[in-house]
Amino acid sequence: MIKTGEQHLKALQDGRAVFLRGKQIEDVTTHPAYRKAVQTSASLYDFQARPENVDALTFVSPGSGNRVNRCWQLSESYEQLVSRRNALEAWAECHYGFLGRSPDHVASGLAGMVMGLEYFDQWNHTRASALMDYFSYARDNDLYLSYVIINPQANRSKSAGEQDNTLLTARLVDEDSEGITVHGAKMLGTSSIMSNEVWVTTIHPLKENEAPYAISFVIPMCQKGLKVLSRKSYEEAAISEFDNPLSCRFDENDAILFFDNVKVPWERVFIAGDVEMCAQQFHRTPSHVHQNYQCQIRLKVKMRFLLGVAHKIAETNGIIDFPSVREMLGQLASDAAVIESLITTMEVKGQKVGKYFVPDTHILYAAQVQTQQLYPKVIATLRELAGGGMIMLPSSVEDFTNPEVAKYIESTQGSPIYSPEDRVKFFKLAWDAVGSEFASRHVQYEMFYSGASFIVKGNSYRTFDWAPATDLVERMMESYSLEGSLDKLK
Ligand SMILES: Cc1cc2nc3c(=O)[nH]c(=O)nc-3n(C[C@H](O)[C@H](O)[C@H](O)COP(=O)(O)OP(=O)(O)OC[C@H]3O[C@@H](n4cnc5c(N)ncnc54)[C@H](O)[C@@H]3O)c2cc1C
């Protein structure tokens, strides 16, 4: 009884309203803009259901008794946290770290929220019960959740309620005995085209009079009134799998979600109209830490892949033995080790929250600050290593079908380690990781997925224990004085 890929695909044929190039998509599982990414998401469930992976990737749900992915597991010890991390890492290896919002991301956030249920319960017992019941439902059905927690940009010098268009940002417009009605937009629903349900809330601070924007709820992607306004599909723009192997398989998509008077039953509402609680749900519970810990685990895998690409570039172009090239590779290896070490440290320094064991908050934020800056630098190093190699390539796989062009490919694509065909294959892959539109979106993703840098650095500032640092300065200052120095002049 483990969720399979086939079950996931079937669940996505639910009539969800996804719009692309002016048209509503009938079925995301078959449409050329999404079908391969959707297939990738389904393959994650097949992977966990393989007999050799069942123990490592799944655990028995305390609710249903069925096995579900370990992303739903609430770790109670360091050992459990590490085995859960190993499961997340194995899943990330299936997509080489290129699915930012794989199913374990939002599940980790929701699991963290439930670890802090006591805080929720002190605030409102009914809403805390709704959260717990929903968590059990999502876990027992091994749901793929996406989320939208950011308000549309519009004018960032104004808050949600101050925008010229007060119906721009998703907000409460009505409530009755059955539930709430929400209208307006949210950004940015990564993976929403292939998730089962979406968690909608606000992480931005709100002002006291902005209660209608203080919402937190989950709805199925096929909920009446929910419109998914998809960005351009890189999967659809890919020439072929040979030309764009990553865009083809891992374009998780991003979308603006518009809630057109969407009705949400109370049992799916966690917060409705409480500004303080909306702001605190992520930080007074381990939710934010737990979801972003997943991001670091995923990034560790992606970095390993990128380091492999860097090494292969150097070998392919015969530059691997140049000292300056080894220096660049050494820098990359050190960068990857920093991420890995920070993950280890946040686990070793983990803390108990009630009966649960969660990664260290400040080390997590420190890792985010570092990696947000690191990723574009790593990509720049790969470009530096490759020179024109990723550009000096046949226009498409079709060039191989023309014997005359194929002859020229054969004579121009030489490499010390690869046949001409494999050199082309490799550099097409490298470009898709480093320079294609898909790759460029990944730079933007790693720079912004958990907030602009001033937000991430603000979290680091807020959670650092400054006293030992300032105490050292005070101790030093106390070790000398003006009087003492003046005395020495006498
Ligand atoms: C590829 C991608 C995928 C994403 N996926 C998701 C997702 O699945 N779910 C989700 O909810 N969100 C998602 N996001 C949204 C992400 O969370 C936001 O991009 C992020 O929170 C930053 O907000 P913003 O884009 O509105 O940037 P802004 O807040 O507008 O910041 C942009 C820049 O403006 C400046 N700036 C803005 N405000 C200030 C200020 N107050 N003080 C100083 N400078 C300021 C800074 O220079 C900042 O870097 C995704 C984003 C990207 C790029």
Residue with tokens 């060039």: 399
What amino acid is encoded at 228 in this protein?
A: V
Q: What CA–CA distance (Å, rounded) separates 259 from 455?
A: 26
Q: Where does ligand 1 bind, in terms of residues with CB under 6 Å?
A: 101, 147-150, 153, 156, 187-190, 254, 441, 444-445, 448-449, 451-454
The DSSP call for residue 22 is T
Widest CA span of the chain, in angstroms? Answer: 94
Q: How far apart are the CA of 448 and the centre of ligand 1, in A? A: 6
Q: Which long-range contacts (CB under 8 A, 24 or more apart) does 67-72 make?
A: 67/1, 67/2, 68/2, 68/3, 68/139, 68/140, 68/142, 69/3, 69/103, 69/104, 69/107, 69/142, 71/103, 71/104, 71/107, 71/108, 71/111, 71/294, 72/107, 72/111, 72/138, 72/139, 72/142
Burial class (CB in 10 A: 0-12, 13-18, 19+), 124: middle
pLDDT tens, N- to C-terminus, the chain (490 residues) = 899 999 999 999 999 999 999 999 999 999 999 999 999 999 999 999 999 999 999 999 999 999 999 999 999 999 999 999 999 999 999 999 999 999 999 999 999 999 999 999 999 999 999 999 999 999 999 999 999 999 999 999 999 989 988 779 999 999 999 999 999 999 999 999 999 999 999 998 999 999 999 999 999 999 999 999 999 999 999 999 999 999 999 999 999 999 999 999 999 999 999 999 999 999 999 999 999 999 999 999 999 999 999 999 999 999 999 999 999 999 999 999 999 999 999 999 999 999 999 999 999 999 999 999 999 999 999 999 999 999 999 999 999 999 999 999 999 999 999 999 999 999 999 999 999 999 999 999 999 999 999 999 999 999 999 999 999 999 999 999 999 999 999 8
Q: What CA–CA distance (Å, rounded) separates 390 from 413?
A: 11
Residue with tokens 């209208």: 183
Q: How far apart are the CA of 424 and the centre of ligand 1, in A? A: 36
Sign, CA torsion 19/25/26/27: negative
CA-closest residue to ligand 1 atom 8: 190
Q: How far apart are the CA of 311 and the centre of ligand 1, in A? A: 33
- Written as six digits, the tokens of 155 are 């004018």
Q: Is the peptide bond before 332 cis (omega within 30 degrees of 0)?
A: no
Q: Best mutation site among 102, 104, 153, 188 for ligand 1, i.e. most ligand atoms within 8 A of its Cβ?
A: 188
Q: How far apart are the CA of 436 and the centre of ligand 1, in A? A: 22
Please provide residue 124's backbone torsions phi and psi, each rounded to the nearest 5 degrees: -160, 110
* DSSP element (H, E) containing 193: none
- pTM here is 0.96
